[in-house]
Amino acid sequence: MKDNLNILVVGSGGREFAVARALKKSPHVAKVYVAPGNSGLASIGVEAVDIPEDDFKGLKDFAIAHQVAWTFVGPEDALVAGIVDYFQAFGLKIFGPNARAAQLEGSKDYALKFMEKYDVPHPRYESYEDADSAIAALSDFGLPVVLKEDGLAGGKGVVIAEDESTAKETLRWMFDNGQKRVVLEEFLTGPEYSVFAVMQNGEYRLLPVAQDHKRAYDGDKGPNTGGMGSYSPVPQLTAEQRAAIIDELVKPAAKGLEKGGYNYHGVLYLGLMMTEKGPKMIEYNVRLGDPETEVVLPRLATDFAELIDANVNDEEMPEVKENDLAILGVILAAKGYPKNPVKGQALGTLPAEDGIAIDYANVKGPLTDLKGNGGRILMVRAEAASLDAAQKHVYDYLAKLDEPECFYRRDIGARATGKTY
């Protein structure tokens, strides 16, 4: 791997903040730019570039002008829209799947058909293109039933309907609001885990496993969100279960990507459920997850820049090694999130504290006068020798903050520690 590399990260949230932090640590990297980024990046000495993630020409021109060695794409929207194809047409190196492969996240129906074709265990499902047909099929699935919008929905397009009236109302709402296809799935039970594989066509390297918390409120109540917190490692996942995940989910997906001619270079996220009958795929994402990235990357003993550089250059990827740290992060979200988030909260300068890191996401203004800009504002993250210690440190820190127009869950990590705050 060469030295003094300039790297461009596309995106603006906490995931891109964490990616930039990890890349900046590498001795091979000279400069990290994040476009459009957020003003919190100044806290780690990374430059935000005012170019929207959907301005492919602007991003391409910046990469050329600043001699960017390769570009790392964070958000799914840009990947589904074809940013990788666009950059490659100009001979630029970029990390992420092309538009065809990105349909594994861009369409739930497409992803389930891929699982079916390549023998990846998944829930029973059917897809429908009008509300009446979907409603007529409800009796075939029983209750609860999982209803999924087919396209991108920012982690919020899934509804678990507990009763028939909610299912019917939700289906009509989805189609009335522009959905062209909705997927009905059988409801599965069991713990969910987040597995990230850095794919290089048929080869892969697994990042540390994490578990996130999707529902807005304590006890997994309330609407689905992009994620309210996460932690790694996941001690309740046994070695036998991990082996089953690799054999039954990861390897078939890698073979499918190779056999299908996807030329996949990027992250494949496997959102899975460990059922009584073994692991089953719930969904694919074609990028790192948020908030899992913030707790996964600090657990790498391997140089993250070396891993990505080898991937984009079609060289043998280094083995991924994990350190002994336990990482737990809690999202500070705007009051009213995810439906009607409040904006403009005065955050000020958050106090520095050993063992605590802040990953900024939806913020604006100078570091001395940061304000919330809606949605998930930032993550407070702790590193410790154990999850119990990391969890306690995060919540002790959050208890000191006076943010009445924000909220956070008090049970992140409770599935591993048994403790809430």
The CA–CA distances, whole Å, from 47 to 38, 303, 310 equal 9, 21, 24
Domain with CATH 3.30.470.20 in the chain: 190-312
pLDDT tens, residue by residue, 84-141: 999 999 999 999 999 999 999 999 999 999 999 999 999 999 999 999 999 999 999 9
Q: What is the pLDDT of residue 154?
A: 63
Domain with CATH 3.40.50.20 in the chain: 5-98
Q: What is the DSSP string of 297-355?
A: GGGB-S-HHHHHHHHHTT-PPPPP-B-S-EEEEEEEEETTTTTS-----B---PPP-TT
Instruction: Assess whether the previous peptide bond of 338 is cis (omega < 30° from 0).
Output: yes
CA Rg, the chain, in Å?
A: 21
Q: What is the pLDDT of residue 151?
A: 84
User: Which one, of 315, 310, 328, 303, lies nearest residue 385 by Cα?
Assistant: 328
* pTM of the predicted structure, to 2 decimals: 0.95
- The CATH code that applies to domain 326-417 is 3.90.600.10
Q: What is the pLDDT of residue 156?
A: 63
Architecture of domain 190-312: 2-Layer Sandwich (3.30)
CATH topology of domain 124-186: Dna Ligase; domain 1 (3.30.1490)
Enumerate long-range contacts of 249-253, CB under 8 Å, 24 or more apart: 249/120, 249/121, 249/195, 249/279, 249/281, 250/195, 250/197, 250/204, 250/206, 252/118, 252/119, 252/120, 253/118, 253/120, 253/197, 253/284
Q: Residue 50: count other Cβ atoms within 10 Å of its Cβ.
A: 9
pLDDT tens, residue by residue, 146-182: 999 998 876 667 889 999 999 999 999 999 999 999 9
pLDDT tens, residue by residue, 380-405: 999 999 999 999 999 999 999 989 99
Q: What is the pLDDT of residue 335?
A: 97
Q: What is the pLDDT of residue 21?
A: 98
Architecture of domain 5-98: 3-Layer(aba) Sandwich (3.40)
- pLDDT < 70 regions, the chain: 154-156
Domain with CATH 3.90.600.10 in the chain: 326-417
User: Which one, of 397, 395, 396, lies nearest residue 409 by Cα?
Assistant: 395
Q: Residue 136: count other Cβ atoms within 10 Å of its Cβ.
A: 11
Give 95's DSSP letter: E
Q: What is the pLDDT of residue 155?
A: 61
